[in-house]
Amino acid sequence: MIEAQSWTIPDEAAMRLLGAQMASEFKQGDVIYLHGNLGAGKTTFARGLLAGLGWMGEVRSPTFNLLQDYPTHPPVLHADLYRVASWEGIGVEDYLDSHLCLIEWPERMEGLLTDEEVFHLRIEFDAEDPSARQVTLTPPQSC
Ligand SMILES: Nc1ncnc2c1ncn2[C@@H]1O[C@H](COP(=O)(O)OP(=O)(O)OP(=O)(O)O)[C@@H](O)[C@H]1O
Ligand SMILES: [Mg+2]
C-alpha cells in the first residue's frame, strides 16, 4: 500500500531515480495518473520507472502517437493524452487489464474508469523553479 507523501526532487537524474525506485510498487492492471503542467517531469519519471523494470531502450514522449507500450514485466502502457479531448477512440481501455498504465494528462480519462476500477495512484508534479520539482503521491482513497 502506497501512502500519501511528498518530496522535493532536485534534478532530472533524481526524478529518474524516483521512477526507478517506485517501479517495484506497481503491478499489471494498475493505472497511475501523472498530473502536472508541460515540462513538469511526468515523462522523465516514466523513463525512470521503465528503466527500473529493466527497459534498456529509448522512451520517447508519446506526444504524437498518444500510446506507447513496452514489453517489460509487467508490460507498460505509457500514454500522453494532452492532444485529445477525451480517451474515446484511442483504445486506451484495451490496456487497462493487461498493462501497468502510466497516464500523462489523466484529466482526459474522465468517465472511463468505473468506481470498482479506480486508478491506483495519483502522482502530482509541480515545477517550483527551473530545476526542482515537488512530487506528491495521493492514493485514491485520500482524494
Ligand atoms: N527535477 C527535475 N525533474 C524532472 N525534470 C526536470 C527537473 N529539473 C529539470 N527538468 C527538466 O524538465 C523537463 C521535464 O520534461 P518532461 O518531458 O519529463 O515533462 P512532462 O511533464 O512529461 O511534460 P509534457 O506534459 O509536455 O509531456 C526536462 O527537460 C528535464 O530535463
Ligand atoms: Mg510528457
Domain with residue 64: its CATH number is 3.40.50.300
Residue 84 is assigned to a structural domain of this protein: yes
Q: C-alpha grid cell for residue 21?
A: 525506485
Q: What is the pTM of this model?
A: 0.96
CB distance 122 to 143 below 8 Å: yes
Radius of gyration of the chain (CA): 14
Q: Which domain holds residue 9?
A: 5-108+118-142
From 43, 80, 83, 84, the mutation candidate for ligand 1 (largest count of ligand atoms within 8 A of CB) is 43
Atom of ligand 1 nearest to the CA of 46: 18
CB 96 within 8 A of CB 75: no
Assess if residue 58 is contained within a domain: yes
**pLDDT tens for each residue of the chain, 143 residues long:** 788 999 999 999 999 999 999 999 999 999 999 999 999 999 999 999 999 999 999 999 999 999 999 999 999 999 999 999 999 999 999 999 999 999 999 999 888 886 656 678 999 999 988 899 999 999 887 55
